Amino acid sequence: MLCWSGSVRRKQKPGHFPVYLNVYDLTPMNAYGYWLGLGVFHSGVEVHGVEYAFGAHEYPSTGIFEVEPKKCPGFTFRKSILVGKTDKCARDVRVYMEKLAEEYRGNKYNLISRNCNHFCNEVCVKLTQKPIPRWVNRLARLGVLCNCVLPPRLNESKVRRVVKEELSEGEKKKKK
């Protein structure tokens, strides 16, 4: 019988908490274009039971908001994609969102260069080191929609802007 006293290092997958990209249809035309790899999509990042997204408005305050996962008002939910996992606890994610809130102003939203999908990609890369699937933001990269589709305004009664020191619904549930 052989004994080996050395330790075996197993490659451990990083992260414990799943990070999802929730994808929504912006138009009913996506039913036709989706299968061709085309479509106009909104997206949000779900982590710790909260979905974060970015939207346009005319004020110089944050455009980042949170909603109940898979229920972003004004959009039709299409699918949820597991992007990866993160080691960041709910509080660390919240602090990160508050930091991004300073950068992602609602009046700086741009359909081609700074939209909800760009925001989600930045968040997913930070939390999981993985980008969102390329098809989600394909039309923005092509620049096809620059003058013909405007993003819907945020429905203030159904979303909450991310601001410092405000607990999310997911964080409140976890504290109870």
Is the residue at 102 inside a domain?
A: yes
In a domain, 6, yes or no: no
Q: In angstroms, rounded to a whole number, what is the distance separating the alpha carbons of residues 46 and 87?
A: 14
Write the CB contacts of 18 (distance below 8 Å, at least 6 apart in sequence): 47, 82, 84, 85
CATH number of the domain residue 94 falls in: 3.90.1720.30
- Whether 48 is catalytic is no
Nearest-Å Rg of the Cα atoms of the chain is 18
Beta carbons of 67 and 158 less than 8 angstroms apart: yes
Domain count for the chain, please give it: 1
Q: Would 21 be classed as within a structural domain?
A: yes
Output the pLDDT for position 9. Answer: 42
Query: From first to last of its 176 residues, what are the pLDDT tens digits of the chain?
Result: 444 444 444 444 557 999 999 999 998 888 888 877 788 999 999 999 999 999 999 999 999 999 999 999 999 999 999 999 999 999 999 999 999 999 999 999 988 889 999 999 999 999 999 999 999 998 776 664 444 444 444 444 445 666 665 555 555 555 55
Residues 73 and 159: beta-carbon distance below 8 Å: yes
Q: Is residue 153 part of a domain?
A: yes
Place of tokens 């036709």: 32
Q: What is the per-residue burial (b if ≥16 Cβ within 10 Å, else e) of 108-131?
A: ebebbebbbbbbbbbbbeebbeeb
| Environment class of 34 (CB within 10 Å of its CB; exposed 0-12, middle 13-18, buried 19+) | middle
51 domain residue, yes or no:
yes
pTM: 0.75
> What is the domain range of residue 126?
17-174
CB atoms within 10 A of CB 49: 15
The pLDDT, as a whole number, for residue 77 is 97
122 part of a folded domain: yes
Of 166, 116, 113, 122, nearest in space to 140 by CA:
113
Does residue 132 fall inside a structural domain? yes
Catalytic one among 72, 116, 120, 124?
Answer: 116
Let me know if residue 35 belongs to a domain: yes
**Active-site residue 57, yes or no?**
no
